[in-house]
Structure 1
């Protein structure tokens, strides 16, 4: 994954924000130090942070012991849990709930 959007990317969406003048000046200085315009600098930093946040949310790191426990659980013969089966039947019988 790259931290910068590609030049060919569709750039029709907009994001506007209000920030303090000193924050804008800091961003301008940092962008200039990286030979980037402010938009590219801010977008690159925001995209990197977004990827980091989503990686932490989506990726699970397991110890060797935990991997062995998961593997063992997956290898076990499946069995019916009556309460869970009843709940599934109950939910299947309900009308679908529509999001508003």
Structure 2
């Protein structure tokens, strides 16, 4: 377990503080744990999204070409889709 040595200060309105306190209480957490947990969750999502959405210039060109290309029919997928439609149309008869 890492030692907590750094400090984070922030300012907010009285209404914001009351909202945060009420939410922390509902979650049965102290205010620090509630705010830190929420902030860490959001930070991890932002970093994961940034990591997964970052493309190299080459990847951007490849993606643009793929989006501009004519659609390719995959016979197995087309058959699967036709098969998925059949039961619902049969039950309608």
TM-score band, normalised by shorter chain: 0.5 to 0.7
RMSD: 3.3
Runs of 4+ in structure 1 over 4 Å off: 8-13
Gaps of 5+ in 1: 18-37, 96-100
Describe the SS at the equivalent of 2:78. Answer: helix
Q: Which structure shows the higher helix fraction?
A: 2
1:71 aligns with 2:64: yes
Q: TM-score under structure 2 normalisation?
A: 0.53
Gaps of 5+ in 2: 1-11, 89-93
Count of equivalent residues: 70
Q: TM-score under structure 1 normalisation?
A: 0.50
The separation in 2 between residues aligned to 1:93 and 1:46, in whole angstroms, is: 48
Bigger drift between 76-85 and 51-60 goes to: 51-60
1:43 aligns with 2:13: no
1:83 aligns with 2:76: yes
Bigger drift between 7-16 and 78-87 goes to: 7-16
Q: Which residue in the other structure is 1:25 paired with?
A: none
